[in-house]
Amino acid sequence: MCSLSSQHFHAGEETWRAHTVSGQQFIKGEKLKMGLLSSKNPKVKQAQILLLGLDSAGKSTLLYKLKLVEDTVTLPTVGFNVEMIELEKSLSLTVWDVGGQQKMRTVWDCYCERTDGLVYVVDSADKQRLQDSRRELERILKNEHIKNVPVVLFANKQDVPGALTAEDITRMFRVKKLCCDRSWYVQPCCALTGDGLAEGLGKLAEFVRSRVKSRADTAAFFRQNLSLSSERWS
């Protein structure tokens, strides 16, 4: 059950929402009018990506390395960040980076609606919390809003001595069983240096393009049948 409460307020033409979690308010500019974060090119396919993982897994570092391709100093995300990444002028990803602190994990479900892809980041070197991370992934994948949504899991911090490999993470997280109803991929990476990020992003784009195309084909099918039904009864 989603325990997040919200208040709306306006800033110019934009509508924002302030979230309250456990009595503390987080305001990080969630733009309710999704078009404000959309590409201006109508030919560009739009997709919503949910970026999750425990606190200190490297989610925000990964996000800004992908977007800016440069080193960025990040602070723990209290609430969420929203960024848009355009790929080859054909696909635009609006990425919702939600904080991984325990109080924020309780409201991850509130961000699942209309999600086209899930990116889950694991600190491969934090062996004490790997079981916690696995449990959180198992829990969020039970959300009905992301049923069949593709998953790309980044096994981050591969530069740290003793970090588990992508194969280790795949086995420990039981990814094959957990994601048997959807497309999935586990990518080893180092968010600080950018190693492995392009490969993981490419796989995410491949999955998302297929999902968006399938959704568009379904919508076109229903529009066509609705039009034929209208003509029949006119």
Active-site positions? 101
Question: Is 57 within any annotated ligand binding site?
Answer: yes
Order of all β-strands in the sheet with 117-123: 80-87, 91-98, 45-52, 117-123, 151-156, 184-188
- Quote the tokens at residue 194: 């950018």
- The three-class DSSP label of residue 39 is coil
Question: Is 156 within any annotated ligand binding site?
Answer: yes
Question: Is 100 within any annotated ligand binding site?
Answer: yes
- List the beta bridge partners of residue 155: 122, 188
Question: Is 77 within any annotated ligand binding site?
Answer: yes
Question: Is 142 within any annotated ligand binding site?
Answer: no
Question: Is 53 within any annotated ligand binding site?
Answer: yes
Please give the sequence-ordered ranges of beta strands (E in DSSP) within 148-212, or none if there are none.
151-156, 184-188
Q: What is the CA radius of gyration of the chain?
A: 19
How far is it, in rounded angstroms, from Cα 97 to Cα 3? 19
Residue type at 1 in one-letter notation: M
Report the 10 Å Cβ neighbour count for 189: 26
Question: Is 194 within any annotated ligand binding site?
Answer: no
Question: Is 23 within any annotated ligand binding site?
Answer: no
Phi–psi pair at 24, nearest 5 degrees: -110, 135
Question: Is 181 within any annotated ligand binding site?
Answer: no
Question: Is 158 within any annotated ligand binding site?
Answer: yes
Residue type at 176 in one-letter notation: K
Question: Is 58 within any annotated ligand binding site?
Answer: yes
Q: Residues at the annotated binding site for Mg(2+)?
A: 60, 77
In the annotated binding site for GTP, the residues are: 53-60, 100, 156-159
Known binding residues are 53-60, 77, 100, 156-159
